[in-house]
Amino acid sequence: MSRYPLISSGTIIESTPEESVQSPIISIRQLGKSFQSGAGKKAVRYQVLKDVDLSINKGEFFILLGPSGCGKSTLLNLIAGFEKQTEGELLVGGEVVDRPGKERAMVFQHPDASLFPWLNVRENIEFGLRMQGMRKGERKAISDRYIELAGLTGHERKFPRELSGGMKQRVQIARVLANEPDILLMDEPLGALDAFTRRVMQEELVRIWSETKKTIIFVTHDIQEAVLLGGRIGIMSIGPDSRVFEIMDNRLEYPRDLTSREFNLIQKKLQGIFQDDLYFHL
Ligand SMILES: Nc1ncnc2c1ncn2[C@@H]1O[C@H](COP(=O)(O)OP(=O)(O)OP(=O)(O)O)[C@@H](O)[C@H]1O
Ligand SMILES: [Mg+2]
């Protein structure tokens, strides 16, 4: 039962009942994750996530929103299969997640960590396809499509060191898309960009999502970014024992107008939750 009445004017903001998610692509039940620090008698367990329940539909743009350290990356890493949960169930496409899979792709905050500096833009985008043994002509057809989609036309021959931060992030996104995953896991992918580039990339991302209809789980601690991008916004408690304690429906039409009354209403509602004393005692 929610402590926060999110229903405001009309149907713009609503809390989603769990039952409304039909045959989810991701299904998380009573999930927990703890880490052990130290060894022997001095070992301490830290319960990052506890009792996380979450269902995500195919094609959703889902936001995980919460303050630094609450466990957003941990939850994303579990979905990616990089880590294993200590309690509960995690299914993707009805299958238990116990390792990374081709159908799930992670986009990291710092593209430098994932791009190969000795490969140019096209070669970086085609890398996964080449590893699969795909022939040159076929690879080129796919990379052409994603180069265009990511707004990189004309920059194909540049190397990562010759690109701006926003362009590098576009290359990372294009490379991930070229491998045709069903699910994009994005861990604060725009966090390292300046405000202007970030706004441009947010618009690009909405465009790419509406053209590809991928399922996106996007992590952020930025309320405005959450309202700008998310169809549903999962709000995490502060932790330890963090969980997704509320899910807000955001039915504003894309592309969204940051200056509209409705936009500001949703933003204020979210700000209210994080400023409420109750939030710190969840
Ligand atoms: N491998 C690990 N070993 C021990 N503790 C960990 C490990 N990974 C994460 N934690 C702990 O789990 C908690 C949540 O970390 P996490 O990185 O998931 O937070 P976050 O919400 O992504 O934060 P941020 O917004 O700063 O990225 C933190 O207290 C962190 O110290
Ligand atoms: Mg993180």
Which of 33, 52, 72 is the pocket-test mutation for ligand 1 (most atoms within 8 Å of CB)? 72
**Digit-coded pLDDT (tens) for 1-28:** 444 444 333 344 455 555 555 679 999 9
Report the SS3 class of residue 241. Answer: coil
Which residue has its alpha carbon closest to ligand 1 atom 6?
A: 35
Greatest pairwise CA separation for the chain in angstroms: 60
Q: What distance lies between CA 215 and its chain's CA centroid?
A: 9
- CA-to-CA distance for 117 and 131, rounded, in angstroms? 17
Contacts of residue 61, Cβ cutoff 8 Å, sequence gap at least 6: 206, 209, 216, 218, 229, 230, 231, 232
What pLDDT, on a 0 to 100 scale, did the predictor assign at position 23? 74
| Ligand 1 neighbourhood includes 236 CB (under 6 angstroms) | no
**Digit-coded pLDDT (tens) for 178-219:** 998 999 999 999 888 888 888 888 998 898 899 989 999 999
| Ligand 1 neighbourhood includes 221 CB (under 6 angstroms) | yes
| Ligand 1 neighbourhood includes 151 CB (under 6 angstroms) | no
Which residue has its alpha carbon closest to ligand 1 atom 9?
A: 74
The atom of ligand 1 lying closest to the CA of 75 is 18
pLDDT above 90: residue 263: yes
Question: What is the tally of helices (H) and strands (E) in the chain?
Answer: 7, 11
Name the CATH superfamily housing domain 1-17+57-83+96-103+183-282. Answer: P-loop containing nucleotide triphosphate hydrolases (3.40.50.300)
Q: How far is CA 108 from CA 76, 77, 190, in A?
A: 11, 11, 9
- CA-to-CA distance for 221 and 215, rounded, in angstroms? 20
Identify the band that residue 242 occupies on the pLDDT scale cut at 50, 70 and 90. Answer: very high
Identify the band that residue 280 occupies on the pLDDT scale cut at 50, 70 and 90. Answer: confident
Please name which of 217, 274, 282 lies closest in space to residue 243, comparing C-alpha atoms.
282
What pLDDT, on a 0 to 100 scale, did the predictor assign at position 5? 45
Tell me how crowded residue 128 is: count the other CB atoms within 10 A of its CB: 19
Per-domain residue ranges for the chain? Answer: 1-17+57-83+96-103+183-282, 110-180
**Digit-coded pLDDT (tens) for 14-67:** 555 555 556 799 999 999 999 998 888 888 999 999 999 999 999 999 999 999
